[in-house]
Every structure is written in C-alpha cells, then in structure tokens.
Structure 1
Amino acid sequence: MDETAKYLIHAEITAAGVVERSDVVGAVFGQTEGLLGDELDLRDLQDSKKVGRIDVEIRSDEGTSSGEITVGSGLDKVETAILAAALETIDQVGPCSAEIVVTDIEDIRSAKRRAVVERATELLASFDADAVQSEDIVETVRQRARVEDITTYEGLPAGPRVADSDAIVVVEGRADVLQLLKYGVKNAIAVEGTDVPEAVAALTRDRTVTAFLDGDRGGDLILEELSQVGEVDFVAVAPRGRSVEDLPRGAVMAALREKIPYETVAEAESPEAVLDADGAGPESVALQPGSGEGDAAAAVAGVDADATAGATSGGHPETASDDTTTQEAVAGRDADAETATDGPTTLSDHIDATIGADTATVRLLDPELSVLAEGDAADAVSLIEGCDPAPRTVVLDDTCSQKVLDVAAQRGVEVVVATGDGEYVKQPTSVQVRTV
C-alpha cells in the first residue's frame, strides 16, 4: 500500500479455474482501460502515485481459485468509490470466468485517528502518573533517596543492611520493608506470606531477630511458624487491625522501642495481651518505669521525643500522672527548684544542664537524682563502669551507643537519656533508653 493512500479498497475474487496473481493484475488493468476516461485511467493514476500497487492473494483448490484484492487510493471518496465499482465489472481472468465483489472501502485516516486517540490516552495517563507537583518535589526526592536502597536477599525483599547486620527485623511483605526504609530502618526482610521461607529461617539462627508483624490473624500465624522453623528474640506488633505499612513514623519507632522478649509472648495469649498487661500499647511513646519506684523512674516516664522542643527552648515536658511527686519530677523548674542553690533537683534540670546546654558531657545520677559523677561524653563507658555506687540514671549529651548500653546493663542502670539512638546489635531489656 502506498504511504500517501487515504483509502483502501478491499475486494474478493473467485474464478472458475486455476489462475495466478499476474493473471488477476492483468485483468484489472486490461478490462478497466478506457472504461472511466483519461482522468481515471488506472495506469496513469499509478504513475502519478494517486493509486498504489494492486496486491493480490490467490489460492487454487479443486480446479477453482479464490482470493483477495487490495488497492490503495489517494483519490477523494467519490473517485475511489468509482474505481472500486469499476473492479466489479471484471468478469474474465485469463481463460476463466471470474467475479469480483468489493467488500469494504477503508478510510485509512480514520484508522490512524483511532490509533492516535488510543496512544494519546496512554501517553496522557502515563504523564499524569509521573507528574510531580512543585510542592511535592522535596518529599519526592527524600522518599526516593530512602526507598531506592531496597534490595533482595535470597530473592526476598530486604533492606541493604540485612546481609551484614547482626540484628534483623522480620516483616510480612515488601510494602513493610519500604515503609521501614522510609524511616531509616535498613535491616528488615519480608517473608512474603504465612509460609516462612527457609532463607529467613536460616538467617534467624545466627542473628538477633525482632518480628515486627501486622496486628491481625496473619501476623499471629507468621509469628507462630517463625518461632517453629527459626528463632525469635523480640516481638513488636502493630496496633490490632493495623498494618506495619500503614503506620506513621512515631508508631513504628515506638513499637520497635517497646519490643517484647519472645519468651514473654510465648507464655501469653498474644503480644497484645502482654502489652495490655503492662499498660502500654504499640503506639505508646512514654517510657514505662523500671523496677524502682523512685523519682528517677517516675521522671523519665514523661520524657519522650516531644521533649526535644522543651529541652532546647527552656521549657520542660509534663507527665499526665496524677501523682504529685511524678508531676514535680517531670515538670519544669517549679518554685522550689528555682530557689534551690545546690544544683538541679529534677531530671529535667539535669537534662537542661547537660543536653540542653550542649555541653558534650555525661552525668551519672543516683536514685535521688544527686550527681554521682560527671565528665566528657566520650568517656561515658569508663565513667559508668567505674562509678561507685552504681548510677540509677545516665544523662548523656551524645548518641547512646551499644557499648554504653552494655556497660549500663552490667552496672544495673535503669534509664539512659541521650540525644539519639545508635545502631544497636542487641538492646538489653533491663535498660530503658529515651532520646531528647
């Protein structure tokens, strides 16, 4: 078909005998010559490129022939229709009688227009899907920078640190891994269903494992199977009826901080039952008091991530407890504290004096919040290790490292308040960590 053709004539031919393509083409030219006048002479129209080549497909069977004829036309609709009608006047092909019937005159431009509409619709949908609004640029770049790190481990979706990290977080699906990557957790791996893969089971046997699962029946089943085929050290759960992939950053971080030793969960009806018994939920961000009931434990119960603003601006976080002692411990400097001349008397005062003042120091406190020792933050490990008596609370103007956690656990420290969390291989359950 000629590229300039606007219409395509489709016709069927039958002949009472065996004929070939050349016979049909010869009959078309021979029997239409002079029929339509000089303006519509088929040879002249082909020479001027107004009519394309005549395509013929012919088949012979049991002494008869049949096939299709296709002619491209660059003429207008009227002239094309006349040319098509002229084809039907042919009644002889070679030595055989024949009949040609025009079945359709196709508007090639209409077909092209349909193709244009379909393709344009596809392009528009793709354009809208990939379009980035100006107000979304910062967030889009931030998310892509975080999410592009997703990899695979033995064919399973995983964060980039799974292969070399001493601790892993086992989640249900790829979306959960992506969600944790957005929040900076790079050692998560997905089991992709309730059938725990052998690769994950093998991985759990030599790593510290936290199972972070959805708060539904599926999460319960995965935890049960994972405990049977592998080893689980801690359990973190989303609120009942919620999925990990739907949780905001605060809820994810709170659930991971408040993970429960698996031994405790194994003896309970469910992880939620353990949390309910402790009076805390997966979305709680308040640190629960340790075994002691002194002012230090009560004070830290109200120090959470929201305390950052108070510590840096001179204000102080407040606890919701009705207990007068707890309120005084967590609130900012009250009248008595302001008139004191022998130094800080509340945990908030100690936080202000170290972290709030950006001193790069560490302060060790006894159960009455008196200072046992103080020194450079870089020497925190040796100070905690050599302090006599052992401190109850540590206020550190630095990130809380694994070494600090280990020596704090050895010395019986109950609370560590620091500027941030380090990358822990294993966090002792006896030490509560709170960041400011």
Structure 2
Amino acid sequence: MCLDCLENGKRDTAQDICPRCGSSRTRCHTELNNLKIGHVDCDAFYASVEKRDNPLLRMNPVLVGGTTYRGVVTSPCYIARRFGCRSAMPIWKAKKLCPDAILIRPDIKKYQDVANKVRTLMLQITPLVEPISIDEAFLDLTGTETLHKGGAAQTLAKLALRIEKEVGITVSIGLSHNKFLSKIASNMDKPRGFSVIGVEETLEFLEHQPIEIISGVGPSLQEQLKRDGITSIGALRRQSISFLTDQYGKIGKQLWNYANGVDNRPVTPNRRRKSISAEVTLSSDVNDIKTLKPLLWSLCEKVSERTRDAGFAAQVVILKLKTSKFQTITRRRKLTHPTQIAEKIWQQAFHLLVSEVTGSEFRLIGVGLSDLCDASLADPVDLVDPNIERLLKTEETIITIRKKYGTASIKRGRGMHRTSRVKSG
C-alpha cells in the first residue's frame, strides 16, 4: 500500500516503490488488510502547531514549554530532538544541548482547537474513537470496510493525508490486533510513520523489546523487574503468572498478558476523565507560605473553572509539590460532598500546604481534583455549613464579571502575588 496515493495491491517488484506515483512511502505486510485496531499519534504536536502557524520556524529547532531556564520542555520539534532534547527535560539542559533552540510558551487553547479538528476527522471514519490524551487516540475500524470501500490500513492512511491537508500537521499511525501493540507500533517510525505488527509476528517482535516499552512500566517498576533479572519482554513472558502477581501485585497479570501480546481492552469512546489539574513552575526556589499562598489560590481558581467548564464536580483535592531536589510530593484530602467551588478547594489545598512547608524549598506547586462526578451533584445545600449558598453566589458573580470584562478584572486579595516569582507559561 502506498501512503501517498493509497494504491493498494500485491508487490510485484523487489523495490518498495509505488508503481503509480513513484513514492517510497509504501508498506507491505501479509496481514495489512486483516488488522483493525489503530493508534493515531500527532507528531511533536505542540511544536508542529507552532511551526504550522509561523513558517519562519519551519527549519529551526523549537522547544514549546517554560520560557525561563527553570521550566521544562513540553514538546520539542524533531530538529531539536536531533540534539538530544526530550519532553519533560529542564529548559536549561535542552538549551545547553541545542543553544539555538527557540523557546515558545504553550498556547493550550490553540492546541485544543487543533486537537478537536483532528478528532472530528477521526470520528468521520469510525464512532469507536478513544482519546488517551490531547494528541493521540485509539480507533477500532472493525466493520467499516464496506463504508470506506477499503480495509482499515487504507482508511487510516487516508485519514493521515486528510489531517495533513486540512489541519496542517502530521501524524504517525500504528496498526495491530490490539491497543497495546498498536500504540507501540505508532512510535516505531516517527514522524509521518505507519507501522504494522501482525498476529503471527507478535511474540517474535516482543521477544527482545525492553520492558520499558510497556506503557505504565515506570522507573520504579523497571528497577524492581531488573533486580529480578527481567530486562526484556521475552524474559518477562517466561515467568509464571503466579510469580509475577506475587512479586508485583495486581499489575503482574497485566504484565504477563502484555508480554504474550494479549490485550483484551476494547476501544472505548467517551472514556471517563479521571482528574483535572493545574500547576506552575517557580522562577526561583520558595520555602515560605507567604509566597506560595497566592499561587495556590490562583491554581485553585483555575481548576475550579476547568472543572465547571467540563461539566464535572470533584470530591478529592490533590496538592502537588516538587522540591528543589526534584522530589515530587503528592497529598490529598477527600471532601464530604463533591464541589466546584474554588474556595472549598482552596481550604483543603491550603491545609495540605501548611503541613508540607517545613523548611524544604519548592520549585513547583500544583493543585488537582479527582473522583470526578456529574456537575449536578456539586455543592448541595448543607445545613451544617450555611456558607455554601453565599460561596456559590460569590463565585457566580465573579465568573459573570470575568466573562464580561476579562480574567484580570476582579481578584480576591489572596490572589495578589509578585509575578516575578512565577515562571512564564
């Protein structure tokens, strides 16, 4: 199959060149027309959108992320990646590797708009689309052959071309017989990749792959596995389920399944969101409550607004701190009732913060909400807490004013802070 003109047929030459258009972007696989589960991943998404919108950036290394040296890289373009720049890398380190890199502050609203356009095109080929982040999703194309007059591979290749033409960014596609393998495949040939892992080759393919290729196997679990002599998926497959569950708990069975190429998870549209959060990296380390307090309030207002806009309420408040030594601290408190109110989120988050500010210096602070539920369950009138009604009216008034005059038009006193301590973006 040609990825550029979509010519589909049997290969009759030794060269992988499309006889119709001359493109070298062809794929030949014995199971190409039998596989149905795709994973579509936008290439260097944030950086690609910035380059799309500013052609002068196209041939330059670009880093989207914090615009101060204490920030982190959110999305490096592929030119910057040649120098060793990676996502989540500190800006100072990325700039050391690539001094000419151009730093751009993230524009999440713009990226979400682009993601929505990509998602719309996905839904035009199948209703079974499961987003797993802003820039990637699983698609199940079972039963769509008659509708699209072609197999899943050809339909996905056509989707990639439409995204390039209509949205202006590129994607990489993985095609396989389950979600686990299709996600691995989409990362094999970036950018503009199209990789296939068939049923027959699954075990052979996985045999020598490193254990870290399994999504969810982080540094801590990697160390545990390596201490037990398990460094490859092949070595993992040769363990018994009972050994893996005894050693690693519930995830042991899932590890065994993945090592054997088994993943029975269906592609689930409208997958339930688990949490909503916001965080900020500080321009210098902070160890006093006076400086952190207004930042915390600002974050509480932000997650409150995001929760309200998404149609949710939340029952668990999460505080996230990162120390100057890059140690991450996470604390949480459960509310009696789900809430959307910034003041109630603040009360719990501030209580958690006070307990942690005991001399350590912090470089990042964040607030999150989990145990999400429908907004209709938010903040019931409570006879024990008569302030609820007043808090609701106050926040509704603030929201109304901000919608009319802008976010900066009205602030609570505790939200006033010196912006020099906050990282841009």
User: What TM-score bracket applies, with the shorter chain setting the length?
Assistant: under 0.3
TM-score w.r.t. the length of structure 2 is 0.24
Structure index of larger Rg: 1
TM-score by length of 1: 0.23
